[in-house]
Amino acid sequence: MSTVIKGARPYGEGDPVDVLVEDGVITAIGAVDVPKDAEIVEAGGQVLLPGFVDLHTHLREPGREDTETIDSGSAAAALGGYTAVFAMANTDPVADNAVIVEHVWRRGQEVGLVDVHPVGAVTVGLKGEKLAELGTMANSQARVKVFSDDGLCVADPLLMRRALEYSTALDVVIAQHAEEPRLTVGAQAHEGERAARLGYTGWPAAAEESIVARDCLLALHANARLHVCHVSTSGTADVLRWAKDRGTQVSAEVTPHHLLLTDERLATYDPVNKVNPPLRTESDAEKLRAALAEGVIDCVATDHAPHAVQDKDTEWAAARPGMLGLQTALSIVAETMVRTGLLDWRGVARVMSERPAEIGNLADQGRPIAVGEPANLTLVDPDAEWTVRGAELASIAANTPYEGMRLPGVVTATLLRGRLTARDGKVC
C-alpha cells in the first residue's frame, strides 16, 4: 500500500516536495516516482506536520457513551489532525485497573483512526486515598505510560510523593490536575473582579500555583517526572520556570481555550464557558502564550471534555465544567500562536506533536518528517478558514465555546502509519 502526498511543505518551510509513503513508512521525499497503485493526496503547497499527539482527552467510554465514545472521539481526533491521544481515567468505572485500560486500548485499535493510550488513575476510584496498581497497568497490554486522577487533584502530599517515587521505577509520568481542594470549595469562576461582580465563588490562582510548587519540589526530591495538566495562570508559568531552572523534571501543557478565551466570557452567563480550571484574565492568557512560545510550557493539550446538553445547558452553578477541543485545537493554535508570530509551523510541530510524544513516551509519534520514519502525518491548509458548528463536529456532545467563530487553519488530511484516517473533513 502506498500513498504520495504531492507538493507539500514540511514544517511550512522551503519549496513543495512529494512525500512517498509505503507500508506505513516514509520512503522518499523530493521528486518521487509515483507507484501505479498509489493513492494521491494533492497538497498544493500546504503545510505538512508530524501527526498531533494529545496528552489530555476525555473520551467518556466506559460510562458516558451518550456524550462520547472511543469511536466518536477517535473520529474527532483524526479530523483534528491527531494520530495519538491519551484518554483520561475519569470514566465510569474509573480506569484504575488493567481490565479497563486494556479495554480502552483495544477498542482504540479496533476503531483504528488514532492510537488511544489509556491514562491510568493514580488512586483507586480517583478517591485520593490509596494508590492504584500502577505497575499492573504499566505492564498490561495497554502499556500505560501516563497516570492521572484528572478531574480531581491528588491533594494528599504523602500519596503524591509515593506515586512519584513508584513512577521512577516504572518509567512513567504522573500528570497532576493542580487544584488545592480546600481553596476551591464551591468555586465557580476565576477569583477576580468579574466573578465578584456576578456573585460567583472564586477559584483562586493560588489553588493551582501552590500545588504546582509543592509537586515540583516532590518531583525534584524523588528524581521523578511530573507533568502539570492545563496550566491556567501566569503565576504557574513562573513556578515552572523556577523549577526547570533548578533541574526539576517537570513538563506542562496549556489548553487552546486558556490561550484564547478569558473570564470576560462570564458576562454571557453561558455555561459553555464553564471549565476547570476556569478561564482566567487577558493578562494570564497573554503570559501563557509567551510561556508556550518560550518552552516554559512544553505543549498544547486539548482537555477535550464532552458533556451532555442536560449537564451543560443549565444554570451556571449546576453545569459541568469542560469543553470540546479536538477538532478546534489546531485552529486556535494558529490564531493565538502563528498569526501573532509567536510560533512558526516548526514550533507548532514541537508543541502539538514532538513534545507531547516525548512526555507520553511514544517512540513512533512526533518523529521527524524524514525517510525511514513512521508516516504519522498531518496536512494543514494554513490559509483556509472555517466556521465552527458544534452540531457538525464528530463528537456526540456539541459543547464547543467557539460556536459560530471563523477560525484560520484547516486540517485537510491525517495519516496514521501511512493510512489516511481523515481527508477533506471526512474520516476515512
| Pair type for strands 406-416 and 419-423 | antiparallel
Minimum distance between the CB of residue 303 and ligand NCD, rounded to whole angstroms? 5
Q: Is residue 174 within 8 Å of 225, Cβ to Cβ?
A: yes
Q: Which of residues 45-104 bind ligand NCD (CB under 6 A)?
A: 58, 90
Burial class (CB in 10 A: 0-12, 13-18, 19+), 370: exposed
- Which among Zn ion, ligand NCD, none contacts residue 322 (Cβ within 5 to 8 A by kind)? ligand NCD
107 near Zn ion (CB under 5 A): no
- Which among ligand NCD, Zn ion, none contacts residue 321 (Cβ within 5 to 8 A by kind)? ligand NCD
Q: Mask of contacts with ligand NCD, 161-180, x by CB under 6 A?
A: ----------------x---
Of the candidate residues 184, 276, 376, 399, the single one contacting ligand NCD (CB under 6 A):
276
303 near Zn ion (CB under 5 A): yes
Q: Mask of contacts with Zn ion, 146-185, x by CB under 5 A?
A: ----x--------------------------x--------
Of the candidate residues 120, 192, 321, 409, the single one contacting ligand NCD (CB under 6 A):
321
324 near ligand NCD (CB under 6 A): no
**Residue 303 is among the residues annotated as catalytic for this protein:** yes
Burial class (CB in 10 A: 0-12, 13-18, 19+), 404: exposed
Radius of gyration of the chain (CA): 20
227 near ligand NCD (CB under 6 A): no
Minimum distance between the CB of residue 87 and Zn ion, rounded to whole angstroms? 10
Name the residue whose CB lies closest to Zn ion.
Answer: 177
Q: Residue 422 and residue 420: Cα distance in Å, rounded?
A: 6
254 near ligand NCD (CB under 6 A): no
Q: Residue 190 and residue 232: Cα distance in Å, rounded?
A: 10
**Residue of 215, 284, 303, 311 marked active site:** 303
What HEC string does 84-133 produce?
EEEECCCCCCCCCCHHHHHHHHHHHHHHCCCEEEECECCEHHHCCCCECC
Q: Residue 305 and residue 397: Cα distance in Å, rounded?
A: 9
First to last CA, the chain: 15
DSSP code of residue 323:
B
Region binding Zn ion by CB under 5 A among candidate stretches 31-39, 248-256, 296-304, 416-424: 296-304
Q: Which residues bind ligand NCD (CB under 6 A)?
A: 58, 90, 150-151, 177, 275-276, 303, 305, 321-322
Residues marked active site are found at 303
